[in-house]
A and B are shown apart, each in its own frame.
Chain A
Amino acid sequence: MGLSSTDTSNEAIQLCIFDLRRGQNEGQELDKILFFFPAGLPFSKQLSVIGLSEGLITFTRIFSPEAACEVIEAERNSHVFYEAEPDIWMVMVVEKSNDSEPIYRDDALRKVLKEIHSLFVMFHGSIRAMLEKETGGGLIRRHLHSFIMDYLRDFFVGKKLLLPSFHDCLKERGTVQMLTIGREAAIEVQSLVRVLESSAGNTPCYSLILFQDLLDDTINLFAYAVLRLTPHALSSGASSWSYLRKGNTASNVAAESNLAHPSSFSESFYGPTDVPHAGENQYHVVRPLQHDKWSKGKDGYLVTDIWGAEIGTWTYVTPTVWLRQTEERMYLCAYQHRSLTLILLVPVSSILTGEQGVSMVKRQVIENASLKILKVEEKLTKGWGGENAYHVSGYRYLLVDGDRNVSRTSPAAKVATLTKDSLLAMNKVRQEVELEKSRAKLDNSACEKDLEICIRAKNNAWVIARVTRGKELYMVLEKGNETLLYASDAVEKFSNRYCNGAFSLD
């Protein structure tokens, strides 16, 4: 069964990954391409995108050797660049519906590319490493293909791929949403963490506690957890992300393939070096982003067959992830009690007995901590204000702590009440701030960017950005009165109440 989608609206978005070190000789240009979406696009067009990207990377290095091409804005398309690894570039091309209306913010799109790459590396290691393992490129292509297609599936609404646009201007990808908890609950959580860490015996262990959806490696784990592990992800996977839906993800796939059998994907893709048709098992591709693959086991731990089963047994292999900071491979164990999800990371090297050892650690943890877990869940549930817990009446805001990669926002439903004009204006302001920030970074200026922008837009909304000491606050006030002092007062009040005065002037 193939993906029979005939919809071609996907041409509005293209995403490719290429390696500048490959395909240097004429006639071998195809070798550069490691991933292209939509895969059905004729090679000439794929090469055209990559040729332009490569040309501009080289061109911009003439003037800006320290930072090559980041974005091409043309009348109909934007190309957003991200150098994921040295000489390995990801480029996303998005079509603009209307040149003058800035739908997308390149930084928001770049963060999608960044997230794809970080998650990929977390599960599979770096692209370069995989390329070195198998220089033909078949291995990495297959992995990237299944991984990114699984990832992109989340962005499909109907037949359209919806990327972060101005509607999402009060969100920040790549940050963790922290749950604000009372003092008592915090103490409980702390003690739970201590119990968890000690119950793993002598093995060092990291843990992450998530409640509902709220909470460089932490971000990835958080992102993954929110995408696939939390109760919300588990249930929505069952209800709305039915398998049929995946049929829409790729276009022109007659020649392409069946995502369920990724190894058969375009065998003709790069000629004879690639796998033969029957080589189904030549590459075992683990697809951690596959939907509906996690479920709750009897012991409260989440299980999945994504990583396969132990040979000769029925036990599923415990997933492992690779941490960049410690450069270690870790077992990923997720335990769930109602709305509470616990993620335990145990170094692979610390457990010598394989799966058996892992289950022992898991059991040990539950034995020691189950009571605590119950208690913490109860406390958190009691203290949690629901979906609108972070709503501040009259404000639509995004608060980012860049140093801790933590963010907090107005509930999405509340942000959605803003007019398009306000959202576009905020999107534009964010773009301006991004530019200022990246410039300050390149200048290596010792003092961090300190910036205050306060705009009364055409529709009378106040659109405000404050950047100070690594913290950022963005807000839209639609019903404010017209004086600038009103707007700064509103910021001041918010700052004093919710940000410990970080944005207050005195």
Chain B
Amino acid sequence: MPSDTSSSISGDDHSDQFIEDQLASVTLAEYNDEPSGSANRQANGVVGGSVNQSAQLEIEERVQSSSVEAEEVGQVRGPAEHAVVWGRTVSELEMDGSSSPGSSGYAGERGSSSATTGSAIDEVVQQEIEEARNDDTVEGISDSQMSWPPGKQHVDEDDASISWRKRKKHFFILSHSGKPIYSRYGDEHKLAGFSATLQAIISFVENGGDRVKLVRAGKHKVVFLVKGPIYLVCISCTEEPYESLSGQLELIYGQMIVILTKSVNRCFEKNPKFDMTPLLGGTDVVFSSLIRSFNRNPATFLHAYTCLPLSYATRQAAGAILQDVADSGVLFAILMCRHKVISLVGAQKASLHPDDMLLLANFIMSSESFRTSESFSPVCLPRYNPLAFLYAYIHYFDNDTYLILLTTSSDAFYHLKDCRIHIEMVLLKSNVLSEVQRSLLDGGMHVEDLPVDPFPRSGSSPHLGQHRLPTDSTERLREPYLGIGGPAGLWHFIYRSIYLDQYVSSELSSPINSPQQQKRLYRAYQKIYASMHDKAIGPHKTQFRRDENYVLLCWVTQDFELYAAFDPLADKALAIKTCNRVCQWVKDFENEIFLLGASPFSW
């Protein structure tokens, strides 16, 4: 142990300054006639910056509109109409006498509670109970936002605090002049010095004609990503490999583009010292929720999306009505339940990248305001077109299920609203929304249900979870389930279809049933994913990996990728057999777990 470690950082608050000085003194020595890199850029910026003044305006507008969200729009039509819409929805349900406890009737009630009646209170209570139950059981673990306070935590910390330094995973966004834009922990303004240090490191290496990607120290990795005038940095002591962390930085950058578009670059061309924080004001929740999803949502590293398990007919019904509206000038119509797709339809030739869907869904689910009323918001899809805003009409049918209609036209609100009303009517009539709630309760594929024989069980077209009564599923979770996963010690699997850009993941069950265990498992998957998909030498075909936590088996073919986690003591031969059975099982149920055919982005 170096004896004067302490001396070099003992002046905790000054250590950033110290590093900067170290780097700066050298920079000065080396570049005598160019006192600083940023001065240079400034000069360039002036040249390039004259082109577009509207960019900043556009973005500022966007910020206003996002903070006020649809209230503005609502005001145009007046709140009365909202009430009417909701009232009708509820009454329709009552008439239908829907017995499904999770039906969409209560959906907007939180938002319009001013009209609460006696029965509505009952409903609200019931809904809360359901929510609580949902949280504890089926989806509670993976749906992170329920279990976490929204927004940033530990704002009082800065780089001098021991607690801040000990956080396992930091994310920073800063500008190329070193101005902080976002920090996962701590107050950005207090981190100005630290941010300048990060900038100094990046530009120091850049001045040497290189680009820094990774610094490793003990358990820590510092990962850098430069996107034009935006620098992103992750400092992590989790075991995630470089490839995963840099992929996460890409997503964070993408999330920023969703909110601002890439035209924010022009602001930096005009003024390198441009302060971006006000533009992102209030979007902390969006970033924190994305960061939490890195270890909870496999879509973040698989670059694929997942569907809510539904009968083929139900999904067809949803798809058909979405197709109707897509034909009327909507670019994309997406019906989602939490982070899972129910159905989605795109206008001709338009294709939607799974990463865009992930970022869009995160943007919507993390912003509380979208839940309370219908909204019309500018959003940018970075993979679709990073330079332009689309406009998203967003509406929650119930607590979990929401509709996104994307258009290129900024004045399509009323048209989209009409579309939504039409869609809602059809969905209710065809029981899609109640089916969705039922699916949420039942969950998808449980490893315990993996058929032992290679062929589907007797009886024509079995359904997922059909053999299990609804009470069954709650009971098995109420009593401590003593099972040890599926056959041959199978604990969990993820199957990704290459052509569909979709994956299906088995439900989390014992022994992977705490958030910590889930996180650990997903990190193990990330590691094996990165190892399989090495840029230079991958993709590998098969990988077997056993450590003290798991046996992981991965199988990559032209059609699919399978990731399976077993008990660390699992027998190799049996595990391989089980993997084959899983693949067969998925194929048997592909009608229910995947969105087939209709999607335009499968080719």
Contacts and interface: CB of A to CB of B under 8 A. Distances in A.
Interface of A: 20-21, 26, 29, 44-45, 47-48, 50-52, 54-77, 83, 86-87, 98, 100-102, 421, 424-425, 428, 432, 436, 438-439, 442, 447, 449-458, 460, 482-485, 488
B212 interface: yes
Contact of B531 (A45, A432, A449): A432
B215 A26 contact: no
Contacts of B22: 51, 54-55, 58
A63 B239 CA distance: 15
B505 interface: no
A439 B219 contact: yes
Interface in B209-256: 209-220, 222, 235, 237, 239, 242
B415 interface: no
Contacts of A452: 544-547
B19 A55 contact: yes
B239 to A, nearest CB: 7
B217 A74 contact: no
Given A61-B9, A71-B214, A86-B2, 7 more contacts: A58-B22, A60-B222, A64-B218, A76-B210, A87-B2, A454-B545, A460-B541
Interface stretch (B91-99, B174-182, B197-205, B259-267): B197-205
A58 B18 contact: yes
A99 to B, nearest CB: 8
B4 interface: yes
A447 B548 contact: yes
A69 B26 contact: no
B212 A72 contact: yes
A67 B215 CA distance: 12
Contacts of A70: 216-218
Interface in B183-208: 197, 200-201, 204-205, 208
Interface in B532-551: 534-548
B572 A488 contact: yes
Nearest to B531: A432
23 contacts: A48-B208, A55-B23, A58-B18, A58-B22, A60-B215, A60-B217, A61-B9, A64-B217, A64-B220, A66-B1, A68-B217, A72-B205, A73-B242, A75-B211, A86-B1, A101-B536, A424-B536, A424-B537, A442-B219, A453-B545, A454-B545, A458-B538, A485-B576
Between B27, B197, B212, B216, the greatest number of chain A beta carbons within 10 A of the residue's beta carbon is seen for B216
B435 interface: no
Given A65-B5, A439-B239, A48 B217 contact: no
A484 B213 contact: no
Between A62, A72, A101, A438, the greatest number of chain B beta carbons within 10 A of the residue's beta carbon is seen for A62
A62 B211 contact: no
A484 B197 CA distance: 48
Nearest to A81: B217
Contacts of A68: 2, 5, 217-218
Contacts of B8: 20, 57-58, 61
Nearest to B551: A452
A100 B572 contact: no
A439 B217 CA distance: 11
Q: Please provide the 6 A-B residue pairs with the shortest distance between their CB atoms, ordered closest to farther.
A: A67-B218, A51-B26, A60-B217, A456-B542, A452-B546, A73-B214
B202 to A, nearest CB: 10
B3 interface: yes
Nearest to B167: A63
B84 interface: no
Contacts of A74: 205, 210-213
Nearest to B547: A451
Contacts of B220: 60, 63-64
Contacts of A56: 19, 201, 215
Between A20, A73, A455, the greatest number of chain B beta carbons within 10 A of the residue's beta carbon is seen for A455
Interface in B562-581: 572-573, 576
Interface residues of B, number: 62
Between B201, B204, B536, B545, the greatest number of chain A beta carbons within 10 A of the residue's beta carbon is seen for B536
Contacts of A432: 531
A75 B26 contact: no
Given A48-B26, A56-B215, A458 B537 contact: yes
B368 interface: no
Given A66-B1, A451-B546, A485 B572 contact: yes
A457 B217 contact: no
A455 to B, nearest CB: 5
Contact of A86 (B3, B30, B573): B3
Contacts of A55: 19-20, 22-23, 200-201, 204
Contacts of B208: 48, 52
Contacts of A62: 9, 15, 159, 165
A455 B540 contact: yes
A64 to B, nearest CB: 4
Contacts of A29: 25-26, 29
A100 B536 contact: yes
A421 B538 CA distance: 9
Interface in B355-410: none
A488 B201 CA distance: 46
B10 to A, nearest CB: 11
Given A60-B220, A87-B4, A450 B545 contact: no
Between A20, A74, A442, the greatest number of chain B beta carbons within 10 A of the residue's beta carbon is seen for A74
A454 B15 contact: no
Contacts of A66: 1, 218
Interface in B492-539: 531, 534-539
B537 A421 contact: yes
B540 A64 contact: no
B543 to A, nearest CB: 5
Contact of A63 (B3, B30, B201, B235): B235
Contacts of A454: 542-545
A21 B204 CA distance: 23
A361 B222 CA distance: 57
B256 to A, nearest CB: 23
B9 A65 contact: yes
Given A74-B212, A76-B210, A86-B2, A484 B544 contact: yes
A69 B27 CA distance: 20
Contact of B165 (A54, A63, A87, A458): A63
Contact of B197 (A45, A59, A456): A59
B30 A44 contact: yes
Contacts of B242: 73
Contacts of B19: 55-56, 58-59
Contacts of B542: 454-456, 482, 484
Contacts of B200: 55
Interface in B1-39: 1-5, 8-9, 15, 18-20, 22-23, 25-27, 29-30
B453 to A, nearest CB: 22
Contacts of A26: 25
A391 to B, nearest CB: 26
A77 B22 CA distance: 21
B546 A61 contact: no
Given A62-B15, A63-B217, A64-B217, A457 B9 contact: no
B257 to A, nearest CB: 23
Contact of A67 (B29, B212, B217, B540): B217
Contacts of B9: 58, 61-62, 65
Nearest to A96: B210
A64 B3 CA distance: 15
B231 to A, nearest CB: 14
Given A87-B2, A452-B544, A456-B541, A484 B214 contact: no
